[in-house]
Structure 1
């Protein structure tokens, strides 16, 4: 566990609690208001840099919020220099990804319903403070990469549920993608362990 409570995770937690309880709750409204709700302090920046320094060569996920009714989960992810995920889906959950430190490249893919093959759609480059969102569909996948070969990156992720199991798309020897089940490994928690609503 990372024992301190971060300003950024607290502000996002409070914002999400307000959003989920309001009429007209939607991914678009949550994403549109997220930047104004954030408070990312210099103390947070130092704490997250220390988090990256603990395991400089490892990609790690840190839980800061999980609603007991499963409406959303909040994670912070630490990306070593040059790290890329496999192409992966999100088990039909919506998501928001926000860069706190560094920069991230997001390659979006559409999964062909007939063949199960991912087809490249485009790339979004996210710098510090920028974010992207994706709808909760089974036809969406992406690959994310830390664009720096020298520095770690830190991102904040919100998902419309608990992302435990998902699929990675790996190339086989024949050049076709194969969907392989994967489990989201959580390194630990940030701040006090919280399951809101429990």
Structure 2
């Protein structure tokens, strides 16, 4: 996996590295010789689990496995200025993209819901830093889902946007941890 991703990002602009990972990641998911370690399949009972698999010292990208118990979801969030490519390894996910309409910390942020994608194993999507907002959930009421996320750089935090009943969202910085 590492060699394929290194090739995809080597000596490329962020946009070309993103495109290279978009091409490479579905091939890795479909390759029976590429196996995830046992810890990458462990869900967390209270929230989706994040398991860092690899961070490249040379190229800066980071690979994280996420495990989604039935119904677990993220809030609307960004990726701290990083592009991200995500592929479903097992199960299914629902990814909703959001378009920023207004950013105002005093009166609330406003978003419009964009495309909603229902993804199964092998399906891939991504976000560029220029259009960085989405939410993800496991819609399956019984099965765990596992996804692989390749980020431009290691994410130690992201901005989440908590909705109120008036359609506004309020930004909140969320530290991101690696689940054991």
With the shorter chain as reference, the TM-score category is 0.7 to 0.9
How big is each residue's C-alpha offset from its partner over 1:104-156, in whole Å with a ceiling of 9 and x where there is no partner? 0001001225543222112011111111011112x421110101011110000
Q: Map 1:1-198 to 2 at 5 A.
A: 11=1, 13-22=2-11, 25-38=16-29, 40-41=31-32, 44=35, 47=38, 51-52=42-43, 55-56=44-45, 58-68=47-57, 71-115=60-104, 116-137=109-130, 139-172=131-164, 174-188=166-180
User: What is the DSSP-based 3-state SS (H/G/I as helix, E as strand, rest coil) of the residue aligned with 2:161?
Assistant: strand
Distance 1:166 1:120 in 2: 19
Unaligned stretches of 5+ residues in structure 2: none
By how many angstroms is 1:27 displaced? 1.2
By how many angstroms is 1:45 displaced? 7.0
User: What is the DSSP-based 3-state SS (H/G/I as helix, E as strand, rest coil) of the residue aligned with 2:42?
Assistant: helix
Distance 2:10 2:85 in 1: 18
Does the 8 A contact of 1:70 with 1:162 survive in 2? no
By how many angstroms is 1:26 displaced? 2.7
Unaligned stretches of 5+ residues in structure 1: 1-10, 189-198
Relative distance call for 1:18 and 1:164 in structure 2 (3 A) is: same
By how many angstroms is 1:60 displaced? 0.8
Distance 2:34 2:84 in 1: 26
Distance 2:103 2:48 in 1: 33
How big is each residue's C-alpha offset from its partner over 1:8-48, in whole Å with a ceiling of 9 and x where there is no partner? xxx2x121112222557431122123323446548947936
> Which has the higher mean CA deviation after the structures are superposed, 118-127 or 164-173?
164-173
> Which has the higher mean CA deviation after the structures are superposed, 125-134 or 25-34?
25-34
Q: How many residues align?
A: 174
By how many angstroms is 1:56 displaced? 4.8
Does the 8 A contact of 1:107 with 1:142 survive in 2? yes
By how many angstroms is 1:84 displaced? 1.4
How big is each residue's C-alpha offset from its partner over 1:165-187, in whole Å with a ceiling of 9 and x where there is no partner? 21111123544210111111111
- State TM-score, norm by structure 1: 0.76
